[in-house]
Amino acid sequence: MAAVLLSKSERAYIQSSLKATPPLRADGRGLLDFRTVLLETGVAPLANGSARLNIGKMAREGGGGTEIVAAAKLEVEDVESGDGVDGGRVACSVTCSPAAYPHLSSNALDELQHDLSVILQQTIGHPSLHPRNLTIIPRKKSWLLNLDAVVLADAGNVVDALFMAARAALWDAKVPRTRAVQYRAPEALKSAKNDVPGAMDVDEGTSGFDTRDMARTAADFELPDYWDEGETLDGREKWPVCVTLNLLTPRHFLDATPAEEASVPQRLHLMFSFVPSAPPTLQAMRLLGPEELDLKDLKESIAFGEQYAKELFTALETKLREEDNRRNIKARDRFALMR
Amino acid sequence: MAQSNFDRRRINGPEESFQPTFEDDDDRETRWKPGNPRIGRGARDIRPIFLTAGLINQANGSAYIETEKTKIACAVYGPRQSKSTTYNEKGRLNVEVKFSPFSCTRRRVPIRDAEDRSVAVQIQQALVPAVRLELLPKSTIDIFITIIENDGIEGCIAAGSVAASAALADAGIEMLGLVASCSAAVVGKEIWLDPTEEEGKASSGTLILAGMPALGTITSVWQSGSMTPADGIKCMEACQERYTDIHAVIAQSLLDNAQNNT
């Protein structure tokens, strides 16, 4: 992604060691091994859902790795007069911290974050994944779901990390409960008017100035105060995970470091969604790099990608449920003990 | 539109503007409903292509493509010396896409906006593997694509790649093969090739495939929306089969242009 300066001989060295039998990687991993992935949800107290993800943190050195913070924040939009769309919108953005890319000019950085935003928006914001509970009042008010990710450090494989962080943040997101409010003329006023003897003859119901009947439908909403922050986003199992296959025909490998990324001519991003009751679906696919590929190889790569994505998905799912458990049930128990 | 790209040297549109609301089509009965076959053409048919090379005289190479309501002009300048002082062993392929303000139902501000770049990136990805940039050190090839009318972004990207590839050939730039591109959409259980804007909206997922039919290789795959991997593969096979025909169209238009000029 971000072009790391790498000499020709370094590149050839990395390529030939990846192609050797058995393949060798600088950090001793196998071709299909991921680095350690660390995940924590609920890191941004002001967001409706958030997650912090790290791939490849060095256990002993206390740092390193690709670091991403993603947060989902909901905003009320007016459908009639504002930008809102009936049923809600999803808007994704990615910001790359200049600290993560000291070698890039500000222009190149802008382009990079734009490209990452586009891939996130096109995948997460696609109508086929749209959560159904973003409506507040039909045809009047809806939620705008902002998903913002910040790349704090890049040690390779940003796209996979980005999608994992996005999935975790959206998984964690809670939509506040709302109650519709409607305006009604006070009952007492109506009856008092009718009781007055010899009142002015007004033909009821036909007056053009009587707006009482018009405002019967919900006009606004309020947020009831409740012990939890709301309900989870609809269809949160559907959010996809991404696996990036770095193609070095006839081999491919996962979770590349920046040096490996720079020495591989082509990569394939595959985003899969695994809904428990349905067969896995492909949510997005991108082929990048100045090389060409056969359809046969591409088909094989997709089949392999599905397999890897499934494993990644299962691991992420386990972790997310564990996080839910930690933050809800365990936290409640601890609170009860303290009292 | 975003106030940040406000250009005071230009006559800007009114502060607030709304896209026209068209009267609901009278052909409501003829509108497509789920379960029905595709209207107007077969599921695997593409829109007829009009492609001509050599439209813009001042450019080294150019092409114009029209597929029903998609109209795109493309010009190629170069290879010319790179402006940057850094040494580049390989040439650079620079693609710039511009939507004309009147190309969509909603007016697009004349200033560069976000979609331009994502379309340009995709077209560049489709072309880069084909162009022999290793023969052109220190130089840049500029491709300028103007979208005059847009009917579905998928078709636009595919047609843009086709036009750019024809323009590159017209400019006499060495390539491994002509790049052809085709889009597909999964609508219900069917696969429709070359979807229009409306068909794209009705679909659950879309795919754009670009490649060199002469070599049988793929240069770019772009897929969005949900489809099963099997459907994705079916889409790719259908696209690959169809863009072989598009390849013949490009070859014919280049031949016509060459014969007219001599």
Asked whether the beta carbons of residue A115 and residue B236 sit closer than 8 angstroms, the reply is no
Which residue of B216, B218, B225 is in closest CB contact with A126?
B225
What does the alpha-carbon distance between residue B152 and residue A66 come to, in Å, rounded to a whole number?
37
Q: Within a domain: residue B123?
A: yes
In this predicted structure, the answer to whether residue A228 has a pLDDT above a threshold of 70 is: no
Q: State how far the alpha carbon of A199 is from the alpha carbons of A102, A193, A207, B41, in Å.
A: 81, 8, 16, 70
Chain A residues with CB under 8 Å of B215 CB are 292
Residues of A in contact with B237 (CB under 8 A): 295
- Pairwise CA distance, residues A311 & A251, whole Å: 19
State the smallest CA–CA distance between residue A114 and chain B in angstroms: 8
A287·B211 Cβ contact <8 A:
no
Query: Which of A114, A115, A295 has its CB closest to that of B236?
Result: A295
Residue A269 has pLDDT above 90, yes or no: yes
**Distance from C-alpha of B26 to C-alpha of B123, rounded to nearest angstrom:** 37
Residues of B in contact with A293 (CB under 8 A): 217-219
CATH number of A34-176+237-338: 3.30.230.70
Q: What is the pLDDT of residues B21-65, one digit of tens each?
A: 777 665 655 667 777 777 778 888 889 999 999 888 899 999 999
- Quote the pLDDT of residue B5: 64
With CA atoms as reference, the chain B residue closest to A281 would be: B228
CB distance from B137 to chain A under 8 Å? no
Q: Is residue B38 part of a domain?
A: no
Query: Does the residue B37 lie in any domain?
Result: no
How far apart are the CA of B218 and the nearest CA of chain A, in angstroms?
5
pLDDT at B95: 93
Q: Domain with B237 in it: what CATH number?
A: 3.30.230.70
What is the predicted pLDDT for the residue at B1? 44
ipTM, interface predicted TM-score of the complex: 0.85
B216 contacts in A (CB within 8 Å)?
294-295
Residue A206 predicted with pLDDT over 80: no
Other Cβ atoms less than 10 A from the Cβ of A170: the count is 25
Judge whether residue A193 has pLDDT over 70: no
Chain B residues with beta carbon closer than 8 angstroms to that of A292: 129-130, 176, 211-212, 215, 217-219
**B117 interface with A at CB cutoff 8 Å:** yes
In this structure, is residue B244 part of a structural domain?
yes
Query: Per the domain annotation, does B49 fall within a domain?
Result: yes
Report chain B residues whose CB lies below 8 A from the CB of A122. 224
Domain for residue B229, yes or no? yes
| Mean pLDDT to the nearest integer, A125-144 | 87
More confident position, A323 or B29: A323
Question: How many separate domains does chain B show?
Answer: 1
Q: pLDDT above 70 covers what percent of chain A?
A: 87
Q: Which range of residues forms the domain containing residue B107?
A: 45-261
Q: For chain B, which ranges sit under pLDDT 70? A: 1-6, 24-31, 112, 114
- Chain B nearest C-alpha distance from A68 (Å): 23
DSSP state of B124: H
pLDDT value for A319: 92
CA–CA separation, B144 and B147 (whole Å):
10
Tell me, what's the pLDDT at A2?
Answer: 47
Bridge partner list, A142: A77, A135
Residues of A whose CB is below 8 A from B184: none
Collapsing DSSP to helix, strand or coil, B249 comes out as helix
What sign has the CA pseudo-torsion A192, A196, A202, A203?
positive
Q: Do A127 and B207 touch (CB under 8 A)?
A: no
Q: Please tell me the predicted confidence (pLDDT) of residue A1.
A: 44
The answer to whether residue B188 is domain-embedded is yes
Strands A241-248 vs A251-253: parallel, antiparallel or unpaired: antiparallel
In contact, A120 and A161? CB cutoff 8 Å: no
Angle among Cα B57, B58, B62 to the nearest 5 degrees reads: 60
Test B222 with A287 for CB contact under 8 angstroms. Answer: yes
- Domain residue spans of chain A: 34-176+237-338
Q: Which residue has the higher pLDDT, B21 or A144?
A: A144
Per-residue pLDDT at B2: 47
Query: What does the pLDDT look like over A87-119, one tens digit per residue?
Result: 888 999 999 999 999 888 888 899 999 999 999
**Least confident range of A64-73, A322-331, B15-24:** B15-24
pLDDT of residue B42: 83
Whether the pLDDT of residue A144 is over 70: the answer is: yes
Q: What percent of chain A has a predicted confidence (pLDDT) above 90?
A: 39
Count of other CB atoms within 10 angstroms of residue B256 = 14
CB contact under 8 A, A126 and B129: no
User: Which residue does chain A place closest to B220, by CA atoms?
Assistant: A287
Report the run of H or E that residue B222 belongs to, with start and end.
Answer: strand B217-227
- The amino acid occupying position B132 is R
Give pLDDT, residue B45: 87
Pairing of strands B217-227, B205-212: antiparallel
B5 inside 8 A of chain A by CB: no
Q: How big is the A-B interface in CB pairs under 8 Å?
A: 95
Cβ within 8 Å, pair B125-A281: no
Compute the average pLDDT of residues A113-135: 90
**Pick from A126, A288, A292: which is nearest to B212 by CB?**
A292
Among the partner-chain residues A280, A293, A303, the one whose CB lies closest to the CB of B217 is A293
Return the residue of A nearest to B217 by Cα: A294
- A184 vs chain B: nearest CA distance in angstroms? 33
β-bridge mates for residue A1, sequence order: none
In the predicted model, what is the mean pLDDT of residues A54-60? 83
Residues of A with CB under 8 A from a CB of B: 111, 114-115, 118, 122-123, 126-129, 268, 273, 279-295, 298-299, 302-303, 306
Q: Print the SS3 string covering chain A.
A: CCCCCCCHHHHHHHHHHHHCCCCCCCCCCCCCCCCCEEEEECCCCCCCEEEEEEECCCCCCCCCCEEEEEEEEEEEEECCCCCCCCCCEEEEEEEECCCCCCCCCHHHHHHHHHHHHHHHHHHHCCHHHCCCCCEEECCCEEEEEEEEEEEEECCCCHHHHHHHHHHHHHHHCEECCCEEECCCCCHHHHHHHHHCCCCCCCCCCCCCCCCCCHHHCCCEEECCCCCCCCEECCCCCCCCEEEEEEEECCEEECCCCHHHHHHCCEEEEEEEECCCCCCCEEEEEEEECCCCECHHHHHHHHHHHHHHHHHHHHHHHHHHHHHHHHHHHHHHHHHHHHC
In a domain, B29, yes or no: no
In the predicted model, what is the mean pLDDT of chain B? 87
